[in-house]
Amino acid sequence: MTDLFEMLRRLGLRLSREALDALLTHAQKNRLSAAQLLEQVCVIEQRERDTRNLARRAKAATIGNCMPLDKFDWNHPRTIDRHLYENLLTLDFLTRGDNVLFRGQAGVGKTSLAQNLGLRALERGHTVRFSTVPTALVDLLRQESLPATERRLRRYTAPDLLILDELGYVPCDSRAADLLFNIVSRRHEKRSIVITTNLAYKQWGSVFHDASCLGALVDRFAQHCHTLDVDAESWRHKEAQQRSRNKKKPQDEA
């Protein structure tokens, strides 16, 4: 078994030793033919390669760790359009270059929903870039020349899907607003942008002070945009309350 596993590894197969042991046991127990066994090896190997490829691409997209969608409690929000989100998961909006806005107070799951949308796009073979708005703008502002800025802009204009998280928490100057407008304008009606925010459009001016391009920025982004509003208590606040109650229980019982 050890020799067989090492030979398969040298051939480039990525299945684990445990998976190989389980497969051979299954083949022997069910009297699989050689062709059936090879077919199972191919299925397992392809699944393993797909998993590793997705993990590599998700890392390159800087999506980060996120709550699996099957653990998202749809009954927690007071208001959320689940049907709209499930339609977004079909990725039809990507083919049209439509945008998506997740809007709601802090801690209601906007980032997790956006991240899972990005993962679905990666699974379907699309290129994705995830960043917070402040991180993206600082990345562009630190470039020391116009050619360098132009090259770095491709990081945000080239992917099929760009996800910009946390618009509204850090104020930005007019130069930063111009850079965001540049990204939105170049992607307009061509490639999709997802933004998460705690602000209505009319409040974006509180982030981009004295930005002359703000009206045009909002106009382009909102023209073909699907808006999902999430009204809920903060998940983090709810979990903190639950932990507090759990700590009090042993004392109450004593």
- pLDDT tens string 243-252: 655 666 665 6
pLDDT at 4 over 90: no
Question: Position 79: which residue type?
Answer: T
- Cα-based distances in Å from 43 to 15, 46, 55, 62: 10, 5, 18, 29
% of residues, the chain, pLDDT over 70? 91
> Under DSSP, is residue 15 helix (H, G, I), strand (E, B) or coil?
coil
pTM confidence score: 0.82
Residues of the chain with pLDDT > 90, as a percent, come to 70
| 182-201 as b/e: b if 16+ CB within 10 A | bbbeebbeebbbbbbbbeeb
Can you tell me the mean pLDDT for 76-93?
96
| Domains and their CATH numbers in the chain | 2-60 (no CATH), 69-237 (3.40.50.300)
User: What average pLDDT does this structure show over 155-168?
Assistant: 97
Query: What is the rounded CA–CA span in Å between residue 133 and residue 198?
Result: 13
pLDDT at 189: 95
Angle at 101 between CA 230 and CA 146, to 5 degrees: 145
Q: How far is CA 53 from CA 50, 70, 103, 228, in A?
A: 5, 21, 31, 30
Any idea what the Cα angle at residue 115 is, between residues 226 and 58, rounded to 5°?
Answer: 130
The stretches of 98-196 forming alpha helices (DSSP H) are 110-123, 133-141, 146-157, 174-187
Residue 166 has what pLDDT?
A: 95
C-beta neighbour count of 218 within 10 angstroms: 18
Give the count of beta carbons closer than 10 Å to the beta carbon of residue 61.
Answer: 23
- Using the predicted structure, report yes or no on whether residue 51 has a pLDDT greater than 90: no
The rounded distance, in Å, linking the Cα atoms of 54 and 49 is 8
Q: Model confidence at 73, in pLDDT bands (50, 70, 90)?
A: very high
Residue 33: is it exposed, middle or buried by C-beta count within 10 angstroms (0-12/13-18/19+)? exposed
Rg value, the chain, Cα = 23
Question: In the 3-class helix/strand/coil scheme, how is 40-55 assigned residue by residue?
Answer: HHHHHHHHHHHHHHHH
